[in-house]
Amino acid sequence: MLGGSRKPMTNFYKLMLGKSNKYARVAFEGGFAGADFGIKVDLKSDFELTKKSFVSKHRVQYENRQKDKNLNKDSDRSAAVVSKALGQLWTISFGAQKDDVLIAPDGDGNYRIGFITTPYFYIPGEILPHRRNVEWEDRVFPSKSMPQDVYSAATGFTGTICDLTKYHQSIVAMLDGVEINLPESSRVPRVGEIPGVLEGKVFKDREELRLAGVHRPPISGISYISNGPAESIVVSGGYKDDEDFGDRIIYTGKGGQDSPGGKQVSDQELTRGNRALVYSQERGKPIRVIRGWEGNREFSPKNGYRYDGVFQVVRHWYEPSKDGPLVIRFELLKNQNALSSSSLIDGEPPTGQDLPGRKEVTTFKMERESKVRDWVKQIHADKCQFCGVTLITRTGTFSEGAHIQGLGRPHYGSDVHENMLCLCPNCHALFDRGALYIASDGKTLVSTITGKKTDIFLHERHELDLKAIAHHRLHVAGIREATRKSTS
Ligand SMILES: [Zn+2]
């Protein structure tokens, strides 16, 4: 590639899980990656070493051990081979960073993609004892459908790990579903309606859905664009917490299960498909909904998969699953007049309504809340309790009254001053989206983005409801209590 091609922040590696991928399945199911190389010591303390110093530190020990093991004959491995093995061990343990992408063959002619989620750790006595935890995607990429350059590089290299970062554009395209051997309809991500696919159309199986471009991944329930919106979801009963009411769906996010449809063993995170659904919510993007035969009987097709039109995510929140760990729940409502993204881009610039209808509901809601809201705003003299800013408009100072625990579904907070903050619109938006939360002391503001802590501005006559703060922290920000000692 000619100049100007910057290295992406994420690195991509092809990794073999054991000789001939024999541990691939175990690693996919166990959510890890690792290596052995016959080194039976915890390498944690080497995390700061460069590859070069790591190799020289361990080479002597490695060679001695090889000699002991192979007193018999011609098995002395050359210095170059040893260096190469140690270099690879370093890359798996320390070179690859959190959030880097692993591409691993499954031994059946397919590849799986995973994201590194933890630093190095060592499990003595186990297979592949030098470990990283990895969130393996459930998508499967047949090697034949991989972009040619990635395929050649991945298959041409026989070592344990190799860096494929220079093919990152092809890999990202592959992750986005741009697979070369498929018809265009199933390659191009598309938000909104698919031209020619009418609501109610039934598809025989996931493969038909995929070829039509209605839902591109073969297994995963959420189709999304990397760092962008979600395209479509399949509602098919994979999560026991899903609820279907026809034009309203409560959809459970992805991740944290010990196996697809299995037990929830860890908290779901706002990454990948879950993040994409929030992205769509915040930007009002339509999402195609497909119902599968395994879903709610009243609303699902008897066989196959039915395209049920576009919905919008109207809210999301965190809650403990039936098994304990947090799941993210998304509420989707059927969108009656959605535009497909293609008509937005290709057609004329959209025109808004000249006189948008004023909603009666909003007016009444404002009436009802105004006393509490005015009191809170007045007592703080319109100064934001988070950042201390007082906005001044041409009519005077301005602030917003922000509920800590939202009113109505799904939070059911109270409209009382203890449940309200005086905030500037910026802090209000960040708080409602869980980018800011208040710690359990009721005084410290924490950013979920930077981790930065600041004191909030309090007023002695305006006490805050710690229960409402705890509710917001758990259900909106997805943060558990910091230190809950496990007592039985
Ligand atoms: Zn503010």
- CA of 388 from ligand 1 middle (Å) equals 6
pLDDT averaged over 10-residue windows placed end to end, the chain, 488 residues: 46 88 87 88 90 88 68 58 88 90 86 87 91 83 79 80 84 65 63 90 92 86 88 81 88 83 86 92 93 87 94 94 91 71 52 52 52 93 97 92 91 93 97 96 96 96 96 94 49
- CA of 409 from ligand 1 middle (Å) equals 26
- CA of 439 from ligand 1 middle (Å) equals 17
Neighbour-count burial of 9, counting CB atoms closer than 10 A to its CB (0-12 exposed, 13-18 middle, 19+ buried): exposed
Angle at 213 between CA 212 and CA 217, to 5 degrees: 115
Task: List CB contacts of 127: < 8 A, sequence separation 6 or more.
Answer: 18, 23, 26, 34, 36
Phi, psi of 90 (to 5 degrees): -60, -45
CATH entry, 184-334, from 3.40.47.10, 3.40.50.150, 2.60.40.740, 2.30.280.10: 2.30.280.10
Q: What separation in angstroms does the CA of 330 have from each of 139, 317, 449?
A: 22, 7, 21
Phi, psi of 76 (to 5 degrees): -65, 120
Q: pTM (2 decimals)?
A: 0.61
- CA of 428 from ligand 1 middle (Å) equals 7
Strand partners, 397: 392
- CA of 96 from ligand 1 middle (Å) equals 38
Phi, psi of 292 (to 5 degrees): -100, 160
Angle formed by the axes of helices 148-156 and 168-175, nearest 10°: 110
Task: Give me the chain's average pLDDT, please.
Answer: 83
Give the position of tokens 């004191």: 455
Angle at 442 between CA 439 and CA 443, to 5 degrees: 90
- CA of 471 from ligand 1 middle (Å) equals 21
Strand partners, 317: 329
Domain-wise residue ranges, the chain: 12-175, 184-334, 370-475
Q: Which of 97, 106, 157 is nearest to 132 (CA)?
A: 97
User: Model confidence over 406-421: pLDDT tens digits?
Assistant: 988 889 999 899 999 9
- CA of 385 from ligand 1 middle (Å) equals 7
Q: Which of 207, 139, 216 is nearest to 185 (CA)?
A: 216
- CA of 392 from ligand 1 middle (Å) equals 13
Cβ atoms within 10 Å, residue 181: 9
Question: What pLDDT shows up at residue 4?
Answer: 37
Neighbour-count burial of 307, counting CB atoms closer than 10 A to its CB (0-12 exposed, 13-18 middle, 19+ buried): buried
Strand partners, 282: none
- CA of 58 from ligand 1 middle (Å) equals 53
Half-sphere exposure (CA, 13 Å, Cβ side) for 25?
Answer: 4
Question: What pLDDT shows up at residue 40?
Answer: 86
- CA of 217 from ligand 1 middle (Å) equals 41
Q: Which residues surround ligand 1, an ion (CB under 5 A)?
A: 384, 386-387, 424, 427
Residue type, 282: E
